[in-house]
Structure 1
């Protein structure tokens, strides 16, 4: 899922998403978005909210005025009633089995990702768990709905496919196939990649980005941490929390992504389009080839924009001429000068002899990726789930069909 604070550098855990450089509005915007998004009438949730608000005002009028030493509450209280999102069914399809938690994959500010075993299929999955209360507090209702909508729409060999999604009383669940490691972990372990490996990974990413853009989808957070490796060492693009439908010819203005991968036009607040994803790909390939990022991370998007625009990216002379040309064309400050269409890459000198066909690419061995030890998952600790409303095993397990 998306987040609302800027990521700083490649180690950050949450994406950034704000508009025009300003933090999103107070919690009440989340309620308004909720009502407009799911069609609730005033006779339902709004009446409950108004009633609770009037009760609170009446109670406040009976209380003495606070002393100057008293501090306001850090957050608005949230009414305790269930949030229902039509995009997340309450029950999965019949016949699905109980899930068993095997370990913790990641824990961020918006949710937790777990490694689970489907006891019926004997298959591993990753399940993202998002508390509904945070969906409202962080005003990310639209992002949650968009993420699931996009993942249900796409089907590609190099995309991390959506397995299922459902909701409990207080949590949303998004389940995908499980991959043991990601490109960033591999890069951290081996450093610079061989040119042949860069060419293969680049071709796979070109195919998937062209596929998404043809569907009118912009990813907006292409980075190594969001590229998983399957059991054969091939790529799976994941995390569509910041993605959105953006038909060709239209523009976006939201500043979002990961600072070191964000294109200049995104850092400046737009307008921008799908070309921003190609800049991110250029940053990624530069890092794979050189072992470092083209521009060091800054504390915020303003400082990052200043650094990106005032210094040209220096391509090492040691790189192959075709790869050097590719990086120059992807990391162009002017988005109109960047490579963007499949035929641009098919005719490019760096990809000479490459068949841009998913089946053929998947037949090429990635031995070094398979041989690299995957990062060990941290053990599951019950204390990490103390904020859940019930025993987590039963919370995660599918409800039995009625």
Structure 2
């Protein structure tokens, strides 16, 4: 895949005949590699005897496994590497840079997103870079692996699909297709209210993708405008599965997570909740697209937000059509069992009368309001100074093979 299709050899291995000096050099080389990623090397010397026995059994003409092949053969793998397997396979440094950093897309408290060019395929991607130490410090290892596991599982026209994932010495990398038009929040902030025709199109695309995820037993738990990217024709791509989890029909979740203004009452109260929570979030999103404002302002914490949600009537403005008002009231129903949530109910809904739920037909025409909008601004990478406060294995690509 984009980052590493070739695998150069590991530090020099022993010469033919089991030369002792060469074997000592092999151990020292691996000590330097492992020390670079902050792990201990106890047990490495113990594997030397095993290696020598294997070499004798294989014969002088056969090669021992490389670092990337140890995952198959059962050789010891450092804990700072093995913790992130198999969702983040090891990618040894390339002989020549294959990914070129083009720009800086976004930076959050937990990761940074870069725009990169796959020089081999001549295709642009977005790479999310997450420091390993942050994953462990925040105790989000399971969540991080679940995110990649889910993205590998899904394939849908309105999902921002995974291109590749791997780990370097100090970082995890998640590579996806690059959406040049930005996200729905940026478009909403600059455009204000949308026409009902545009809302109907966006709603149909989101209904299809949420129904698809729920049928796979996946709840997204963070449906919001910032997590919806726009492709070059203006169609939606649901992204950021960092809070998603597998939740089969009949199961319930209890973790309070998501974005406060989009969280369903049953999530704010600590559960139990299910896939219906995603439909509430969709209702908040559509209400905001239609009115230009959130129905409830943000609060300091989930308890204060729950109180505000319980006080809010969620009445639609009189300027909205009867169909849209009805849709919002059925999505923003406090009782999750009565909330609108099944695809066949959306297809027969008044608001979608005459609309299609065929993904191919929905994508047939560009979305005028998106195409006409100014593309999201990017910070061009003029020099490494653009990343003065950004410590990442990827920066090695400016002068050394990438990733590090």
Instruction: Compute the TM-score of the two structures, normalised by the length of structure 2.
Output: 0.76
The whole-number CA distance in structure 2 between the counterparts of 1:167 and 1:323 is: 46
Among 374, 383, 386, the residue aligned to 2:388:
383
C-alpha contact 2:114 2:128 (8 A) present in aligned 1: yes
1:82 maps to 80
Displacement, 1:262? 0.3
1:72 maps to none
Question: Which string of whole-angstrom CA distances, capped at 9 and with x for unpartnered residues, describes residues 120-152 of structure 1?
Answer: 222111000011001110000001110000000
C-alpha contact 1:114 1:127 (8 A) present in aligned 2: yes
| 1:118 is aligned to 2:82 | no
Displacement, 1:118? 1.0
C-alpha contact 2:394 2:403 (8 A) present in aligned 1: no
Question: Which string of whole-angstrom CA distances, capped at 9 and with x for unpartnered residues, describes residues 36-63 of structure 1?
Answer: xxxxxxxx98x99xxxxxxxxxxxxxxx
**RMSD of Structure 2 on Structure 1 (CA):** 2.5
| 1:254 is aligned to 2:255 | yes
Q: 1:389 to 1:81 in 2, by over 3 A?
A: farther
Displacement, 1:375? 2.0
1:303 maps to 304
Q: 1:169 to 1:394 in 2, by over 3 A?
A: farther
**Equivalent residue runs for 1:134-283 within 5 Å:** 134-180=134-180, 181-283=182-284
5+ residue gaps, structure 1: 1-43, 49-79
2:73 maps to none
- SS of aligned partner of 1:384: coil
Give structure 1 regions of 4+ aligned residues with deviation exceeding 2 angstroms. 80-84, 94-97, 387-400
C-alpha contact 2:224 2:285 (8 A) present in aligned 1: yes
Displacement, 1:391? 4.0
2:5 maps to none
- SS of aligned partner of 1:242: coil
Question: Which string of whole-angstrom CA distances, capped at 9 and with x for unpartnered residues, describes residues 273-293 of structure 1?
Answer: 000000000000000000000
The whole-number CA distance in structure 2 between the counterparts of 1:222 and 1:81 is: 34
1:91 maps to 91
| 1:393 is aligned to 2:393 | no
C-alpha contact 2:397 2:403 (8 A) present in aligned 1: no
5+ residue gaps, structure 2: 1-38, 44-77
The whole-number CA distance in structure 1 between the counterparts of 2:104 and 2:281 is: 28
The whole-number CA distance in structure 2 between the counterparts of 1:215 and 1:91 is: 30
2:130 maps to 130
- SS of aligned partner of 1:82: helix
The whole-number CA distance in structure 2 between the counterparts of 1:115 and 1:378 is: 10
The whole-number CA distance in structure 2 between the counterparts of 1:217 and 1:368 is: 31
The whole-number CA distance in structure 2 between the counterparts of 1:325 and 1:109 is: 38
Displacement, 1:205? 0.2
Q: 1:296 to 1:396 in 2, by over 3 A?
A: farther
The whole-number CA distance in structure 2 between the counterparts of 1:329 and 1:393 is: 51
1:345 maps to 346
C-alpha contact 2:95 2:401 (8 A) present in aligned 1: no
C-alpha contact 1:185 1:374 (8 A) present in aligned 2: no
Q: 1:116 to 1:390 in 2, by over 3 A?
A: closer
2:290 maps to 289
The whole-number CA distance in structure 2 between the counterparts of 1:197 and 1:390 is: 39
Displacement, 1:311? 2.1
Instruction: Compute the TM-score of the two structures, normalised by the length of structure 1.
Output: 0.77
C-alpha contact 1:130 1:172 (8 A) present in aligned 2: yes
Q: 1:97 to 1:363 in 2, by over 3 A?
A: farther
Count matched residues: 325
The whole-number CA distance in structure 1 between the counterparts of 2:401 and 2:389 is: 18
